[in-house]
């Protein structure tokens, strides 16, 4: 009986040892899993930290570019307003000068008419007065027509000169935009370029509305309207504003050709043409 009890104890101890070894094995396996997880955590934590650092750097660069182009856009709008105001003042001064000249010419003509009437013999006053009135009306009409033509020419020169500047600036901006790929690094720069292109073209459209009625030749008026419309379609068409836009050399070439055609028309009506 004692031998049997002793054997049972040995068997129980063996089972306990086996259980303990199994527990240790499980603990070692769990430790290995924990270490593997720690390695993965450290790895991805490092990668995430690097990515966050790069993202922070990109954001900071985008903020710098945004502030830069926002300032440039504000300065450009201020310059354009000053430019238009100066041209308006010049046109206003020209009109005032023409009015003074018109008054002087009219006064001189009426003085000559008065002198002519004073030398007419008695009995011929009625015929001479009628003739004088006709001459005066003709002189006033000619002077008015001449002043209208000069005023129209000055206004046309003002608007075409402004358009030449706007088209030149828009061409440079559009070519720079379409000759670059849009990437995550220059995304902010490209978005600002899109804003500026829309703003510049709005200025062109508004100025064209004022210039068209002042252009004498119907052919030039129709061509300017058509070319401006085509310029807008090509410049803001295709992948414009797309998040993954690729460089488009063909679009850039078309924009350059259209701008050249527009400038050729405008030069004919601008007294101080620039290219």
| pLDDT band with cut points at 50, 70 and 90 for residue 244 | confident
The stretches of the chain forming alpha helices (DSSP H) are 2-118, 125-178, 187-211, 218-235, 249-267
Q: Is the pLDDT of residue 174 over 70?
A: yes
Residue 191's Cβ-count burial label (10 Å; 0-12, 13-18, 19+) is middle
Q: Look at 99-103, 143-147, 227-231, 267-271 and tell me which has the smallest mean pLDDT.
A: 143-147
What is the rounded distance in angstroms from the CA atom of residue 15 to the CA atom of residue 10? 9
pLDDT in tens, 177-229: 999 999 888 988 999 999 999 999 999 999 999 999 888 889 999 999 999 99
pLDDT in tens, 84-95: 566 556 655 665
Cα Rg of the chain (Å, integer): 42
- Kindly report the average pLDDT of the chain as a whole number: 75
Q: Is the pLDDT of residue 64 over 60?
A: yes
Query: What average pLDDT does this structure show over 68-78?
Result: 64
Residue of higher predicted confidence among 27 and 254: 254
């Amino acid at each position: 009986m004692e031998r049997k009890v002793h054997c049972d104890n040995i068997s129980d101890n063996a089972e306990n040892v086996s259980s303990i070894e199994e527990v240790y094995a499980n603990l070692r396996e769990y430790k290995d899993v924990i270490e593997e997880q720690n390695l993965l955590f450290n790895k991805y934590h490092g990668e995430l930290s690097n990515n966050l650092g790069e993202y922070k750097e990109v954001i900071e660069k985008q903020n710098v570019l945004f502030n830069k182009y926002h300032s440039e856009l504000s300065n450009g709008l201020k310059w354009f307003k000053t430019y238009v105001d100066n041209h308006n003042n010049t046109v206003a001064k020209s009109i005032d000068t023409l009015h003074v000249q018109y008054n002087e010419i009219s006064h001189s003509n009426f003085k000559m008419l008065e002198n002519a009437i004073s030398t007419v013999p008695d009995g011929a006053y009625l015929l001479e007065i009628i003739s004088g009135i006709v001459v005066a009306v003709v002189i006033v009409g000619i002077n008015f027509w001449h002043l209208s033509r000069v005023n129209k020419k000055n206004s046309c020169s003002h608007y075409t000169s402004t358009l030449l500047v706007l088209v030149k600036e828009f061409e440079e901006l559009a070519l720079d935009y379409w000759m670059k790929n849009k990437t995550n690094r220059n995304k902010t720069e490209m978005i600002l370029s899109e804003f500026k292109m829309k703003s510049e073209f709005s200025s062109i459209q508004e100025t064209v509305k004022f210039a068209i009625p002042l252009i004498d030749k119907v052919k030039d008026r129709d061509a300017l309207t058509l070319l401006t419309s085509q310029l807008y379609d090509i410049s803001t068409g295709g992948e414009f504003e797309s998040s993954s836009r690729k460089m488009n050399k063909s679009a850039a070439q078309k924009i350059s050709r259209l701008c050249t055609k527009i400038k050729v028309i405008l030069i004919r009506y601008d007294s101080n043409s620039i290219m």
